[in-house]
Amino acid sequence: MILPTYTLSDFDYNLPEEMIAQKPADPRDHSRLLVYNRRDQSITDDYFYNIGNYLPADTSLVVNNSKVEKCRLLFEEGKMEIFVTKAVNDKVVEAMVRPGKKFKEGRTVEVADGITAKVLSIASDGIRTLELNVSLDDERIKPYKKTPFPPYIEQDEALSDRYQTVFAKDSGSKAAPTAGLHFTPELLESLRELGIEKKEVTLHVGLGTFAPVKAERIEDHKMHSEWYQISEKQAEALNQTKNITAVGTTSVRVLESAINENGEFEASTGDTDIFITPGYEFKSVDHLITNFHLPKSTLLMLVAAFMGFEETHRLYAHAIKEKYRFYSFGDAMLIL
């Protein structure tokens, strides 16, 4: 069987700017929910708090329990920025900086009263290795730590808690696993009473999730890698699960990376650069809960792989027509 080839332009669509959600639904589970059934290609419009009406009773929700770090350091009222992409230790970091011309190699920059950053080196992609004169945990640096909201959401620290899932535990993400933002403790409990259990995996979302795909032939795109972990206990629990509903594309990346050729999950820790595009055969996921993703993004390609290329375009057109809210703080989709 010859698989169709896709170009980057195939994953483009036009979204009115006003449909990019700037704030989450309140309460969390009052976001809208588009339910798509792959068996009969039906579309149902509902609300997330009713998701238990659609999930099969024997499914397990697999969520990403990664917690978003306050890794964005803003100084001079936001005019100067150190975005920590990796902490080498409590004082040495790899970071994106702004303005770049201030952070020249060998220079020590005073970023705030009593806080300096020495530029140890500059990588070819512009990432600086900086040595701070205070620890990242120092009280003096705490006021400058901000939540790394995506570029399409205005910086509003009042929404910081809403950019974390209620099951976030393991700190390390540079962006939220957004499909999980719709769950409340009460909704999780009501699902548990239906027999739908929550199982946790960890994937630290990297900045690569926002990296634009530049290659017109999508197979030429170099996929970013992200750290993930499945413990022995988690792998054992997943192997006892007959049906899996992945909460978000990050959970899918973990599940598809940690399953072996015999269809069994293995405890593992490492980096995954799995790139899922149409034609991919899923080995672990039966259903998917996801948000509405950016045009030309690797996340949109994963969704198209799961429910079909043509159907993805049809559903996104429906969501735009019905004025669903898009992206990180937006509404959700359940693909059955």
CATH topology of domain 72-146: Thrombin, subunit H (2.40.10)
Q: What pLDDT score does 61 carry? A: 98
Q: List, for residues 81-123, the tens digit of each pLDDT value.
A: 999 988 999 999 999 999 999 999 999 999 999 999 999 999 9
293: DSSP letter = P
Can you tell me the mean pLDDT for 40-68? 97
Can you give the pLDDT at residue 212?
72
Residue 227 host element (H or E): strand 226-230
List pLDDT tens digits, range 208-241: 766 678 888 888 888 888 999 999 999 999 999 9
pLDDT of 2? 59
Domain boundaries, the chain: 8-68+157-335, 72-146
pLDDT in tens, 285-312: 999 999 999 999 999 999 999 999 999 9
The CATH number for 8-68+157-335, chosen from 3.10.20.30, 3.40.1780.10, 3.90.1150.10, 3.90.1260.10, is 3.40.1780.10
Spatial separation of the C-alpha atoms in residues 261 and 283, rounded to whole Å: 9
3-state secondary structure 144-177: HEECCCCCCCCCCHHHCHHHCCCCCCEEEECCCC
d(CA 91, CA 318): 49
Is residue 267 scored above 80 in pLDDT? yes
Is the pLDDT assigned to residue 1 strictly greater than 60?
Answer: no
Mean pLDDT of the chain: 94
pLDDT tens sequence across 166-208:
999 989 999 999 999 999 999 999 999 999 999 999 999 987 7
CA angle (278 as vertex; 273, 282 as ends), nearest 5: 65
pLDDT tens for 131-170 read: 999 999 999 999 999 999 998 999 899 999 999 999 999 8
